[in-house]
């Protein structure tokens, strides 16, 4: 084998080994996949508005950069804006004000819908994502005083 062939073989071998190691390391980064059912969203409204955000059961974190919005839950017939407008007209559901730059946690039960209500004349943007469910605490063994 001449010197050129030997050098070419070493380069090809090094490239192949590097590719295999990159693929192997990239796929070994996480042992648990991200939850496929986790939802995120942005709701942009202009002027005073009442809109549906997400149907339950779910727990979400809601955030806005500006004040002027409130979030609440109500029973959902169809989990649409109509359910939210009906509840807003009755003013029955307690509202959680969305302060600027603060995250609000909202529990949306089964058969409910989370609703956004805004009063500002300008544009209003709500950012939200479903919160990961915390693992239940399980006590395997408890060492008592002996």
| pLDDT level of residue 141 (50, 70, 90 thresholds) | very low
The dihedrals phi and psi of 39, each to the nearest 5 degrees, come to -105, 150
1 or 66, which is more confident? 66
Q: 39 near 129, Cβ under 8 Å? A: yes
How many domains in the chain? 1
Give 115-131 pLDDT, tens digit per residue: 999 988 899 999 999 98
In 3D space, the residue among 137, 86, 128, 88 whose CA is nearest the CA of residue 108 turns out to be: 128
Question: Does residue 126 sit within a domain?
Answer: yes
**pLDDT at site 131:** 83
Domain that holds residue 94: 40-130
Question: Does residue 93 sit within a domain?
Answer: yes
Question: Does residue 2 sit within a domain?
Answer: no
Count the Cβ atoms, other than its own, within 10 Å of residue 121.
10
H helices of 28-145, in order, are: 81-90
**pLDDT at site 92:** 66
| pLDDT level of residue 50 (50, 70, 90 thresholds) | very high
**pLDDT at site 91:** 73
Question: Does residue 27 sit within a domain?
Answer: no
**pLDDT at site 95:** 87
In 3D space, the residue among 77, 98, 99, 94 whose CA is nearest the CA of residue 86 turns out to be: 77
| pLDDT level of residue 30 (50, 70, 90 thresholds) | very low
Question: Does residue 66 sit within a domain?
Answer: yes
Task: Give the CATH number of the domain where residue 90 resides.
Answer: 2.60.120.10
Question: Does residue 19 sit within a domain?
Answer: no
């Amino acid at each position: 084998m001449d010197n050129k062939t030997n050098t070419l073989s070493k380069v090809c071998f090094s490239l192949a080994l590097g590719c295999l190691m990159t693929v192997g390391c990239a796929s070994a980064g996480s042992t648990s996949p991200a939850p496929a059912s986790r939802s995120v969203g942005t709701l942009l409204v202009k002027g005073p508005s009442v809109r549906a955000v997400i149907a339950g059961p779910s727990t979400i974190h809601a955030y806005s950069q500006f004040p002027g919005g409130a979030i609440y839950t109500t029973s959902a017939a169809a989990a649409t804006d109509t359910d939210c407008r009906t509840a807003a007209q009755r003013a029955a559901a307690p509202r959680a004000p969305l302060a600027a730059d603060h995250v609000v946690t909202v529990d949306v039960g089964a058969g409910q819908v989370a609703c956004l209500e805004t009063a500002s004349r300008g544009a209003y943007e709500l950012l939200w994502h479903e919160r990961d469910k915390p693992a239940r605490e399980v006590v395997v063994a408890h060492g008592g005083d002996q």
